[in-house]
Amino acid sequence: MKMMSTAGLLAIIAATAPSAFAQSSLTLYGMIDEGPEYNSNAGGKHLYNLTTAAQGGSRWGFRGSEDLGGGLSAIFRLENGFDLGAGKLGQGGLMFGRQAYVGVASTRFGSVTLGRQYDSVVDYIGPLTVGDQWGGTIGSHPGDLDNFDNSQRTNNSVKYASANYDGITFGGLYSLGGVAGNVTQNQVWSLGAGYTNGPLALGAAYLNVRNPNVSFFGNSTTGTATPAANSITSPVYSGYASANTYQVIGAGGNYTIGAATLGATYSNTKFMGLGNTAQSGPNPRHLGGEVTFNNVELSFKYQVLASLLVGLEYDYTRGSSVNGADAAQYHQGTLGVDYFLSKRTDVYLVGVYQHASGVDSTGKPAVAAINQVTASNSNNQTVVSLGFRHKF
């Protein structure tokens, strides 16, 4: 048999390559976010600095899929967070600290993924909040105590996310604790659902975390937290590190009327079984029982022009009384303006004011503690961020 010529072989490869490679995709994406920030009271002093996290944080990542046939695809995502100003890794130095997972997706039934992932509170309520839409991390609830703004991720998790059934989506996550002889220690599980129909968007979710100081707050940074250490930094709830269980029940909704969008969210957050120092964390105040926080967020945003958005938020947080002390309360107002230079580049200005009262988790008079900045040493704090953001 006569050997096929090189030219003929190349012609066959060229003819078949499109159908072969069209079955797979690989996308490089990311966001670069940086700008000056002013803090009126950072531990007692004014602070001027550059920040890379005001609108969610700089990141880059890969996502990809491969068609397996029959409506099935293999999928993966690797996402890294970084500090643009310092050129260092985010999330406590983790290489892919934002997300890292692999799994299988079906066009009819949804997806199952394994790895470091977001819980159901983040998936189904997060997109309805000011923090996700225009307020950024500083516009989130005090200390992001209900994790609506995705401050914490979940390691070693198995996650299901449904397909979209006429606007209805749902899913759940389970994280194995990895403790020999104890299935429940350090475990995390959550459930959630969402509904979208025209101008209406709704979401609800439940999150339950065992030994949260170690399994949730600790693993979301370096992953080296131990019961002897306190991984929770916000004074809003750092005194409750000894909790055996952290629980969040939340719901939210947005409704759009023309260029305006009205929004509201509610969360009930509990630190239960305080005093579990053997498996959870320190308990210097020798607390027992449980502590509850209720949070309500009300928001309004208006698309003044196709390129100009303005937003306004009021947020109220109230904790339960501990040892007869006055319950901690936090009143917070946020104002934001976002101007889009193009579809991928914008300039924003966000200002947040917070007032605290009562006694906080440390047993001291509550101080203002706007999310992701150094807490005040008084009951008032103002933070203003001016940022430049580019998405790719």
| Contact yes or no for 60/24 (Cβ under 8 A) | no
Report, as an integer, the average pLDDT of 362-369: 97
Cα distance between residue 70 and residue 104, in whole Å: 12
How does pLDDT run across 43-94, given as a tens digit for each residue? 999 999 998 766 778 999 999 999 999 999 999 999 999 998 888 898 888 9
Tell me how far the alpha carbon of residue 149 is from its chain's centroid.
Answer: 4
What does the DSSP assignment read for 36-50?
A: EEEEEEETTEEEEEE
Fill in the DSSP letter of residue 351: E
Say what percent of the chain tops pLDDT 90: 83
Q: How high is the pLDDT of residue 7?
A: 43
How does pLDDT run across 292-324, given as a tens digit for each residue? 999 999 999 999 999 999 999 999 999 999 888
Dihedral angle computed from the Cα positions of residues 129, 133, 135 and 139, in that order, rounded to the nearest 10 degrees:
20
Domains and CATH numbers, the chain: 31-391 (2.40.160.10)
Q: pLDDT band for position 288 (50/70/90)?
A: very high
Cα distance between residue 190 and residue 159, in whole Å: 9
61: amino acid identity, one letter: G
351: pLDDT strictly greater than 70: yes
Mean pLDDT score of the chain, rounded to an integer?
Answer: 92
Q: How high is the pLDDT of residue 53?
A: 67
Q: What is the pTM of this model?
A: 0.91
Q: pLDDT band for position 227 (50/70/90)?
A: confident
Say what percent of the chain tops pLDDT 70: 92
**In the block, which residue shows the tokens 């904790």?**
319
13: pLDDT strictly greater than 60: no
Q: How high is the pLDDT of residue 180?
A: 87
Cα distance between residue 336 and residue 136, in whole Å: 10
Q: How high is the pLDDT of residue 73?
A: 98
Q: How high is the pLDDT of residue 148?
A: 97
Q: Which helix (H) or strand (E) element contains residue 347?
A: strand 345-357
More confident residue, 177 or 348: 348
What does the DSSP assignment read for 224-241?
A: ---TTS-----TTTGGGT
Report, as an integer, the average pLDDT of 118-145: 97
17: pLDDT strictly greater than 50: no
More confident residue, 350 or 23: 350
